[in-house]
Amino acid sequence: MKFNRLAVAAAALSMFGFMHTAFAEDAPKSITIATEGAYAPWNFTNADGKLDGLEIELANNLCERMKVKCTIIAQDWDGLIPSLKVGKFDVIMAGMFITPKRLETIDFTQPYAVDPGGFAVAKDSELGKLGVSAEKFNLDDEAASKAAIEKLKPLLKGKVVGVQAATMMLDFVKKYFGDTVEIREYKTTEQHDLDLAAGRVDALFAQRTALAATLSKPEFAHYTLAGPGFVGGLFGRGTGAGLRKEDTKLKEMLNAAIDGAIADGTIKRISEKWVKTDVTPMK
């Protein structure tokens, strides 16, 4: 009996050692990060054919902090979540909002950026004449945000608004302005930018930082950001890195790296470089 007890104890210790080793080895040594590569200045393909932008620089910084080898690839927006789920890559960093709907199928890190959505219109339009407002309305505050939206509706009535398909931006325009404007959907923001410059749409709705980068180009000299910005609600908690629900160790590592990048001002520095404003989430 003594021998049996010793054998059982040894087996248990051996199993514990195996489990401990397996857990320790759970931390990945290399990962693949997918981005859209068509959402300047957050992520885009530069003149050399290489991926560049705020999220590319931040992704490389986070990988250095985690001491993980990273490969960054481009993937069409509408294929990002399905391809993540089947294991084509490990992480999404593509200006993706953390929303309850997306959390039903994938997981997210904490936010690494918070950037309001807003309109871009011609300077001589009714909305354009108002100019851009520093106000940001949280859609979770229904009374205040509804009042702001109702003020915008008459200024946009009958206009054609361009917005990227399969995004929270599209959901916002449909929900709050669907009875007021004609909505035109685009596969990428680059496509709706071209139609704004050509006069085929009257307005765009997108993240303000992306719109600001677009409007800085000479061909958009007659356009401006206009009205307030919108956050919260269907836009969720901000922009985060998407990953599979089972990749808990990777999520832990990314969250720790994001914490570090917030604490030492790295996200502030990178965002001010690329989008001319600080999009660091409040802690």
Whole-number Å distance between alpha carbons of 241 and 161 = 28
Which is nearest to 59 in space by CA: 72, 46, 48? 72
Query: Are residues 152 and 227 in contact, defined by beta-carbon separation less than 8 angstroms?
Result: yes
Number of helices (H), then strands (E), in the chain: 11, 14
φ, ψ (nearest 5 deg) of residue 71: -115, 130
The residue type found at 246 is E
Residue type, 220: F
Q: Which CATH superfamily is domain 31-115+236-275 in?
A: Periplasmic binding protein-like II (3.40.190.10)
Q: Which residue type sits at 5?
A: R
User: What is the distance of C-alpha 96 from the center of its chain?
Assistant: 3
CATH number of 117-235: 3.40.190.10
Per-residue pLDDT tens listing for the chain (283 residues)? 444 554 444 444 444 444 443 444 489 999 999 999 999 999 999 999 999 999 999 999 999 999 999 999 999 999 999 999 999 999 999 999 999 999 999 999 999 999 999 999 999 999 999 999 989 999 999 999 999 999 999 999 999 999 999 999 999 999 999 999 999 999 999 999 999 999 999 999 999 999 999 999 999 999 999 999 999 999 999 999 999 999 999 999 999 999 999 999 999 999 999 998 899 997 6
On whether the CB atoms of residues 36 and 94 are closer than 8 A, the answer is: yes
How many Cα neighbours within 13 Å face the side chain of 133?
16
Q: Is 239 exposed, middle or buried (0-12, 13-18, 19+ CB in 10 A)?
A: buried
Confidence (pLDDT) at 1 = 44
pLDDT digits (tens, 9 = 90+) for 174-222: 999 999 999 999 999 999 999 999 999 999 999 999 999 999 999 999 9
* Whole-angstrom distance, CA of residue 96 vs CA of residue 35: 10
Instruction: Outline where DSSP puts E strands in the chain.
Output: 30-35, 38-39, 43-45, 51-52, 69-74, 91-92, 107-113, 117-122, 132-138, 160-164, 182-186, 203-207, 223-231, 239-243
- CA 247 – CA 9 distance, rounded (Å): 32
Cis status, amide bond into 28, omega within 30 of 0:
no
Q: What is the pLDDT of residues 234-249, one digit of tens each?
A: 999 999 999 999 999 9
- Would you kindly state where each structural domain of the chain is located, as residue ranges? 31-115+236-275, 117-235
pLDDT tens, residue by residue, 113-127: 999 999 999 999 999
Domains 31-115+236-275 and 117-235 share a fold: yes
Q: Does residue 256 contact residue 63 with C-beta atoms inside 8 Å?
A: no
Q: How far is CA 124 from CA 19, 170, 202, in A?
A: 67, 25, 11
Beta bridge partners of 223: 122
